[in-house]
Amino acid sequence: MTTEKGTISIHTENIFPIIKKFLYSDHEIFLRELVSNAVDASQKLKKLAALGQYNGELGKLRVEVSFDKEAKTITVSDNGLGMSAEEIKKYINQIAFSGASEFLEKFKEADAKDIIGKFGLGFYSAFMVSDKAEIISKSYRDEPAARWECDGSTEFQLAEADKKERGTDVILHINKDSEEFLDEWRLKEILEKYCKFLPVEIKFGTVEKSAEDGTDADGKPKFKTEKTDRI
């Protein structure tokens, strides 16, 4: 697959100012939206497996949030449904609403069952905090992985990726005004606020825990410190 360049299909208005002005008043919501998309992708795959429409190995379904302060990126990863290049083009590039009011109405009425379709709406909240966003995804079907990139304009690039494992990585290149989110405790605060009690585990960094490590010469228990995933 060669690199494809194109224009996101938006009728009459640029979607990014609409999102920033009307859809979300609090920029921290971007993380809730991306985690929600990742959880939905995992739940959809689980449902397909239960219906006998996916016979592969599910493994442990979970979502991981990570950040790189030096690179100024935040990544939300899942091992759920994944998307092919064609699905990315359909659900991410073709946002064809006639204006801001209709866009908001469509978002409110989005059918929760149309999980990948809903992804296209919530995903664009990423541009409230980032200069560029990337999607690297491999579908649960036997199709090549794809990488999509957009800098917040209506231009995008789509090419084949070398991702081997099923699922999706959304990588945000955080803008200067949003660097507050490149902080462990700020992200932890948002996850605790919006992402508790979800049906899929959310991994964010590691924590140190004390664990028993045998006994000493007097028969008293010894303890060691271990790093475990923060869920």
Residue labelled with tokens 């064609």: 86
Question: CA-CA distance, 48 to 82, in Å (whole number)?
Answer: 13
Residue of 8, 174, 152, 145 whose CA lies nearest to 89: 8
The confidence score (pLDDT) of residue 209 equals 46
User: In whole angstroms, how large is the CA radius of gyration of the chain?
Assistant: 20
Question: CA-CA distance, 162 to 174, in Å (whole number)?
Answer: 24
CATH: 3.40.50.300, 3.40.50.1970, 3.30.565.10, 3.40.50.410. Which one for 4-229?
3.30.565.10
Residue 141: what residue type? R
Whole-model pTM? 0.78
Q: How confident is the model at residue 143 (pLDDT cuts 50, 70, 90)?
A: very high
**Residue 165: HSE in the Cβ half-sphere, 13 Å Cα cutoff:** 12
Residue 166: what residue type? R
> Where exactly are the structural domains of the chain?
4-229
What's the whole-number average pLDDT of the chain? 80
Most confident by average pLDDT, 16-20, 26-30, 60-64, 113-117: 60-64
Q: What percent of the chain has pLDDT over 70?
A: 69
Residue of 58, 52, 56 whose CA lies nearest to 80: 58
Strands 62-68 and 167-174: unpaired
The confidence score (pLDDT) of residue 102 equals 53
Average pLDDT of span 123-132: 87
Q: What angle do helix axes 184-194 and 29-50 make, rounded to 10 degrees? A: 60
